[in-house]
Amino acid sequence: MIQLSSKPESKTPQPSVETVTLDVQGMKCAGCVSAVERQLTQQSGVISACVNLITEVAVIDYEPETIQPDTLAEKLTKIGFPSDIRSAQTLTPQQVHLNQTQRREEEAKQQKINLITAAILLIFSTLGHLEHFGGPTIPIISNLWFHWGLATLAILIPGREIIIDGWRGLSHGMANMNTLVGLGTLSAYITSCVAFLVPSLGWECFFDEPVMLLGFILLGRTLEKQARNRASSALEALMALQPTMARLVGDPFSDDSSSIEIPVEQVRVGEYVKVLPGEKIPVDGEIVKGKTAIDESLVTGESVPVAKEPGEKAIAGTLNQSGVITLKTTEVGENTTLAQIITSVETAQTRKAPIQQLADTVAGYFAYGVMGLALLTFLFWFTIGTNLYPQVLNPSHTEMAMGSTSPMLLSLKLAIAVLVVACPCALGLATPTAILVGTSIGSERGLLIKGGDVLEKVHQLDGVIFDKTGTLTVGHPSVTDYFTFDGMSSHSLLQLAATVESGANHPLGIAILEKAEQEGLSLLQAEDFQTEAGSGVQATVEGKTIWLGNEGWLKEKGLRVEKDQKNKINELTQAGKTVVYLGVEGSIKGVLALKDNLRPDAKKTVSELQKRGLEVILLTGDHPQVAQSIATQLNISQVFAEIRPSGKADKVEEIQKSRKVAMVGDGINDAPALAQANLGISLQGSTEVAMETADIVLMSDRLYDVITAMDLSLGTFRKIRQNLMWALGYNTLAIPIAAGILLPSFGVILSPALAAGLMAFSSVTVVTNSLLLRYQFRQ
C-alpha cells in the first residue's frame, strides 16, 4: 500500500510489512476466531490477520513502524485470549516439538480432570433422578438439598471459568460459546434457587439442568480436544524428524576419523557431518564420502529406500539405513527442506478457504443472534404461547419432557435450551479440522497442499496443462544421433557442442556432455558464453563463434537449414527426438538428436485425468513434431509447441479466457506459468521456487501424485461441505425444536441438559467426520 502526501509532487515511501505468528489460547468457537481477527484488524498498523481455531495461531501482517507484536499480544491477553509471540528464529523444530509435547501433557492432565468431573456430575445427577423413570429412591442423593449443593459446586468449580470467560467476552462486545453456556447455566441455577427458597411460588426446581449441562459441555470439549490432537499429530511427527545432535568431523578424506557431537542448530554451512547406519540425517547436505540407502518416506512419501552415493543430496530428517556417509552441509535450520515443508504445512493450515471465511463471519454475529432468539422464545411462550396453546402447561401433555405447569418455568426452559443448543462450535470446526487432516495426510505422502483456498481451486478446474521435459518425460535425455553436413567429422561436431554446453546447465546440455565423456572427447578452450533460456547457447571457441540451439533461434541469428538437409532431420523429429543445431561462423554444420523417454506413469496419469472430464493440454518449447509425437503416445489432442519459457505464462493466460486450468511443471523454468494458472502444481522442482509459486508441491518422483493430490484436495473439500452441511443443518433443526415448535402438537421439548448433549455431539461429529478422511486415503 502506497500512501500519498498532501503535496502531489512528493511521495512517501511504501511502508515495510512484516509477518508475525502469535500462539493464541482460549478460543472455543468460530465466534472467538471472528472476535480475535476483528480485534487485531482494528489496530492501527495491522494490514491483515488470519486466525485458526484448531492450531490456535494468529498470522498477522503489520507495519513495524506503527505497531509491535508485543502490543498485539498484550491486547489479546487483556480481553481473555492469552497470547505469546512465536519466534521462528530462536526455536528449532525440536524445541517447538518439545514445547508442544509439554503442552499436550498438561492438556492431557486437564482432560483427565475434566472427564472425571463430567462423569461425577452426570452420574450423581442421573442417580438422583432415577425415581422419575420408575427407579428406586436413593437416600441423600435424591434429596433436593443434595442437588442444590451439587449444582452450586458445579457452578463454582468447573463452571466458574466458563462463566467468567463468557462475561469477559460479552463485556468486550465479543459474545462467544461460553457466553451462551454461561447464560443458560446461570439462568437455570438462579431460577431453581428462587423456586427452592420460595416454595409458595409453586415453581419446579431443576438443579439437575445446570449440573448435566456443564457435565455434557466438559465431556464434549474433552472428546473434541482429543480428536483435534489426533488431527494435528502428523505435523508434530514432521517436527520430531530432525535429530537434536550432529556428528561433526574435520577433513573427511584424512586418516583422522574422529568426530564430536554438537547440537544440530550449531552446525554451519560448509562443515562436514558424519552419519552412521540407523541414524537420521541432521542437515541438508551433499554426500562426499560413502554409499548408502536412505529412507525418505516421511518427506517424499516414497516407501522404497533410495540408493545414494557421493555427489548426491541428502535431506534432513530422512533415515540413513545402511552405510556410513559423510555430508558437506548445504542448508541448516529454517533453510532445510524439512523446515520448509513444516513451514508450508503450518501456513496451509492457517490459510482459509473462502467458504470458511464466510462461516467465521457468520459465527462472529451468531452468538448475538442466538441471544436474541432466546429472548424472543421466552417472550413468546410467556406472553402468547401458553395462552394460545394452554395444553402445553398440562404435565401429561409434556410428560416425556418433564414439563412444568408454570408459564415462567416453561418459557425459561425453552429459552435456556435455545441458548445452549445453538453454540457455533460445529460451524467453527467444520473447515479447519478438514484442512488440518487433509494437509497432514498430504505431508505424509510428500504432497504439500498450500491452503484451504487451494482446495476450492481443484474443485473448479476444467483442464490440466503439462510441461513436457522433466514433467511428462523423465527429464534425463540422451544423445541418440549426431552427424554433419559439410565434411566436419562427427566427433568434432560433438566436441564443439559439448564445449559450448559446458557453460550452461540444463538437461539437453548435460546429455551432450555425458555423450562427449563417453566418447573420450576433451573440451576445448571457450569464452564469452551467452545463454538464452529455452532457445540455445552461444560461445567463442578457439576464436570462432559457435551457436547451439533450436532451429527457430538459429534462424533469428541468420543461420538457415538447407532443403536437402531437411529430410533426414524430419525423420528424427517424427521419431519423437529433439534436434539441436550446431552453427559455426554463420552456417549450420550439423545436428544432434536427443530422446527423452516418457515417465512410466505418464500415460496412466493423463488417461485418468481425461476420464474425470478434464481436458489435458501439452505446452512445450520443443519442435512441433517432437511435441506431437509425445502427444500421440499419450492421446493428447491439444498441443502448443515452440513456446519459450517467457511465453508460457502468456499462453496459459490465453487458455484461461475459456476455462480454468492447472499447470504442472518443474517449478523452476515454469515458475511464471505456475503462478499464472488457476492452480500451480510443481513436480520435483526447486524447493524454494516451488514453495513460492506452486499451490501444490509434489516432493516425490511420481507423476501420478498429481492425481493423488487432486483426489486428496477434492476429498478434503467434500469433508468441508459435509461438515458445514451438518453444522448448519443441525442448527436449522435444533433451534426450532429447542424453541418449542413441536411442543403444541407433540409435547416434545429439549431440556437444557439434552440441548447441551446435542451441542457437544455436533462438535464431536464434525471433528470425527474430518478424521474419517484418513481411512479414505490409507496407503
Would you name the residues annotated as active-site residues?
A: 467
Distance CA 201, CA 183 (A): 23
Name the packing angle between helices 452-459 and 354-379 (round to 10°): 100
Helix, strand, or coil here: 98? helix
Q: And the C-alpha cell for 85? A: 509471540
Distance CA 724, CA 766 (A): 8
Whether the Cβ atoms of residue 185 and residue 158 lie closer than 8 Å to each other: no
Whether the Cβ atoms of residue 592 and residue 493 lie closer than 8 Å to each other: yes
Helix, strand, or coil here: 637? coil
Residues in the chain: 779
Q: And the C-alpha cell for 414? A: 425453552
User: How many C-alpha atoms does 776 have within 13 Å on its Cβ side?
Assistant: 18
Q: And the C-alpha cell for 61? A: 501482517
In Å, what is the CA distance from 259 to each residue of 33, 247, 270, 292, 579? 50, 6, 16, 20, 51
Q: And the C-alpha cell for 259? A: 568426530
How crowded is residue 659: how many other Cβ atoms within 10 Å of its Cβ?
14
Angle (CA) 483-485-486 rounded to 5° is 125
Pick left, alpha or beta for residue 173 (phi over 0 → left; psi -120 to 50 → alpha; otherwise beta).
Answer: left
Helix (H) or strand (E) holding 249: strand 245-249
Angle (CA) 95-97-103 rounded to 5° is 105
Distance CA 125, CA 146 (A): 10
Q: And the C-alpha cell for 371? A: 441471544
First to last CA, the chain: 46
Q: Which of 453, 337, 447 is nearest to 704 (CA)?
A: 447
Contacts of 428 (CB under 8 A, 6+ apart): 29, 30, 31, 32, 33, 53, 359, 360, 363
Whether the Cβ atoms of residue 452 and residue 603 lie closer than 8 Å to each other: no
Supply the DSSP symbol for 130: G
Distance CA 243, CA 682 (A): 28
Supply the DSSP symbol for 4: B
The residue written with cell numbers 481436458 in the block is: 615
Distance CA 744, CA 114 (A): 38
Sheet with 615-619, strands from edge to edge, namely 447-449, 696-698, 679-683, 661-665, 463-467, 615-619, 638-640
Whether the Cβ atoms of residue 43 and residue 49 lie closer than 8 Å to each other: no
Helix, strand, or coil here: 80? coil
Amino acid, res. 430: A
Whether the Cβ atoms of residue 154 and residue 258 lie closer than 8 Å to each other: no
Phi, psi (deg, nearest 5) at residue 232:
-95, 10
Q: Which of 771, 697, 708 is nearest to 450 (CA)?
A: 697
How crowded is residue 38: how many other Cβ atoms within 10 Å of its Cβ?
15
Whether the Cβ atoms of residue 437 and residue 770 lie closer than 8 Å to each other: yes
